[in-house]
Amino acid sequence: MNGSTPAAVHADAGLTPPPPCRVCGSIRVAGRHTALEMMNGTREPFAYFQCADCGCLQIERIPADLARHYAGGYYSYTPPQRPANPLRRWAVHARHRWALHGRDPFGWLMYRRAAAYAMRSLRPLELRPDTRLLDVGCGAGLLIFELAELGYRSVLGIDPFIEADRAYDNGARVLKRGLDEASGCWDAVMFHHSFEHVPDPLATLRRTHALLATGGRCLLRVPTVSSYAWQHYGVDWVQLDAPRHLYLFSRESITHLAAATGFDVIDVAFDSDAFQFWGSEQYRRGIALRDERSHAVNPAAGLFSAAQLADWARRAEELNQAGQGDQAAFVLRKRP
Ligand SMILES: [Zn+2]
């Protein structure tokens, strides 16, 4: 596919049928699409298809050289930092405690000022100080680090793509390994925007099931095609993120995966933000995420007005309430 044009991929897609759906096995196709690499802005084309039965949008062929597309610093590998100001540190902890348990009034105020969606998504896991929690594809381990700051001691992150194992001074640990190399028995296993990157979601959930205690919970936080953004922006949808996102799951496809691997879906919470709008609007205009003009690189350049960004934040919240935001947290419980 290297060096080919979008037109060439379309032509090829017309001759070669897509593979069966890697979620539900169906060969019925709802649509075929060409998405360009737009985070780095190489504009290489990649063919995707959407399953007519479970609705999952997926890359037709997983590139053999996928690692190349993670070069140049993927955002989640930036190491966590503790605020130097003790007052600020206290405010961050209060915000996170509210996100986890909903009990700290001051934390609620802090959360209103700056949301912490990843931490908020953990609330259905009902964490206790001794909960054994594994974060898969954790990058530098930001979330594990923050949980250790709050006193959670039995937390571990794994990621096969980090440079080396890391141990933080608060007890948080991150190991350079994949899910296949993970061991132990866990009360909860979570994937924060990592599950859409794994080549075989069924095998990944089976492995997760084996690592969980009975009644244990699995959190899948993923972008979803069950969203306004996919409907409205199509292949310009910023969270399609070809070719790194191999799967853009629908609600139905997550339900199918859960049932096929011994889980029940017990909670779904949408937590999209304004990124779905400004990122997709940029792609529509041919502006890569890492372009000098991008709001992500240079917000002061003023590509979008403050009023526009605030309006998009409000619309994102409305979409979340309506169950149409472009990302969601699915909580699965291991069947007895
Ligand atoms: Zn399917």
User: What is the Å distance from ligand 1's center to 180 Cα?
Assistant: 25
Average pLDDT over residues 47-70: 94
Q: Where residue 280 falls among pLDDT bands split at 50, 70, 90?
A: very high
* Dist. CA 159 → ligand 1 center (Å): 27
Q: Is the pLDDT of residue 253 over 90?
A: yes
pLDDT at 4 exceeding the cut of 90 = no
Distance 177 CA to ligand 1 centre (A): 29
pLDDT at position 2 is 35
β-strand partners of 56: none
What pLDDT sits at residue 130? 94
Residue 115 reports pLDDT greater than 50:
yes
Neighbours of 163 (CB within 10 A): 8
> Measuring CA to CA, how many Å separate 311 from each of 155, 179, 233, 270, 328?
37, 40, 18, 18, 21
> At 324, is the pLDDT very low, low, confident or very high (cuts 50, 70, 90)?
very high
Taking the centre of ligand 1 as the mean of its atom positions, its distance from the CA of residue 178, in whole angstroms, is 26
Statement: residue 66 has pLDDT above 90: no
Do residues 39 and 288 lie in contact, with contact meaning Cβ atoms separated by under 8 Å? yes
Q: How far, in Å, is the centroid of ligand 1 from the Cα of 144?
A: 33
Ligand 1 centre from 51 Cα, in Å?
5
pLDDT band at residue 336, thresholds of 50, 70 and 90? confident
Q: Are the C-beta atoms of 190 and 219 separated by less than 8 Å? A: yes
Which whole number is the average pLDDT over 248-260? Answer: 98
Query: Which string of DSSP letters, residue by residue, matches 170-233?
Result: TS-EEES--GGG--S-EEEEEEES-GGG-S-HHHHHHHHHHHEEEEEEEEEEEEBSSSHHHHHH
pLDDT digits (tens, 9 = 90+) for 122-154: 999 999 999 999 999 999 999 999 999 999 999
CA of 103 relative to ligand 1 center, distance in Å: 40
Tokens found for residue 13: 């897609």
Distance 25 CA to ligand 1 centre (A): 6
Of the pLDDT bands very low, low, confident and very high (cuts 50, 70, 90), residue 11 is very low
| pTM, two decimal places | 0.92
Q: How far, in Å, from the CA of 20 to the mean position of ligand 1? A: 8
Ligand 1 center to residue 226 CA distance, Å? 14
pLDDT attached to residue 78: 77
* 17 secondary structure, DSSP code: P
* CA–centroid distance, residue 145 to ligand 1 (Å): 36
Indicate the Cα dihedral angle 203, 207, 213, 216, nearest 10°: -40
Could you tell me the pLDDT band of residue 8, with boundaries at 50, 70 and 90?
very low
Place of tokens 């949980």: 147
**How many angstroms is it from 288 CA to the middle of ligand 1?**
30
Q: Count the Cβ atoms, other than its own, within 10 Å of residue 180.
A: 9
Residue 7 confidence class, pLDDT cut points 50, 70, 90: very low
Handedness of CA 99, 105, 107, 108 (dihedral sign): positive
What is the pLDDT at residue 284? Answer: 97
Of 62-66, 74-78, 79-83, 307-311, the range with the highest mean pLDDT is 307-311
Ligand 1 center to residue 123 CA distance, Å? 30
- Residue 117 exposed, middle or buried by CB count within 10 Å (0-12, 13-18, 19+): middle
Q: How far is the CA of 26 from the centre of ligand 1 (A)?
A: 5
**Ligand 1 centre from 249 Cα, in Å?**
10
Q: How far is the CA of 60 from the centre of ligand 1 (A)?
A: 13
Q: Which residues contact 73 (CB under 8 A, 6 or more apart)?
A: none
Count CB neighbours of 282 within 10 A: 22
